[in-house]
Copies of this chain bind each other. A is one copy, B any other.
């Protein structure tokens, strides 16, 4: 059985969560993680709960939430009551944003694919990619 109140150094937390040590300290600086207690020599000492919180942050970041979004989600997770509909709204907004990004990238993709294919064709007098960028009207987003 694990000892009660197990304390982890920042390196141990980093290995557990696969979050860079520098990033962990950065999260503390910008208020995403609380300041942990310190050893006599000044080392940060994390609890397993802290490590879980960091894993939460990592997963939210992997889903593309901004650090502001992560902060908001964390505070919802803390005062758990009534949090679900708010979390849902945040998730939906982020989902919409993600879909917009996908749509933008797809427009870029199709233009690029055409240009590259035209280049590969090799029968045109000038480079289609360069020519398009030189002379064509707006080509993608906005």
Q: Which residues of A contact B (CB under 8 A)?
A: 52, 56, 59-60, 62-64, 73, 76-77, 80, 83-85, 87-88, 91-92, 94-95, 98-99, 101-102, 105-106, 108-109, 111-113, 115-116, 119-120, 122, 126-130, 132-134, 136, 138-142
Known: A62-B139, A98-B109, A102-B109. 15 other contacts (CB 8 A): A56-B133, A59-B140, A62-B108, A62-B142, A63-B112, A64-B105, A64-B140, A80-B126, A83-B127, A84-B128, A85-B119, A87-B119, A88-B119, A88-B127, A98-B105
Q: A129–B62 contact, CB under 8 A?
A: no
User: In the complex, which residues of chain B have a beta carbon less than 8 angstroms from the beta carbon of A73?
Assistant: 129-130, 133
Q: A84–B139 contact, CB under 8 A?
A: no
Residue of B nearest to A134 (CB): B56
User: In the complex, which residues of chain B have a beta carbon less than 8 angstroms from the beta carbon of A134?
Assistant: 52, 56, 77
10 closest cross-chain pairs (CB), A and B: A84-B127, A88-B119, A62-B140, A91-B116, A95-B112, A87-B129, A77-B130, A56-B133, A102-B105, A59-B133
Q: B140–A84 contact, CB under 8 A?
A: no
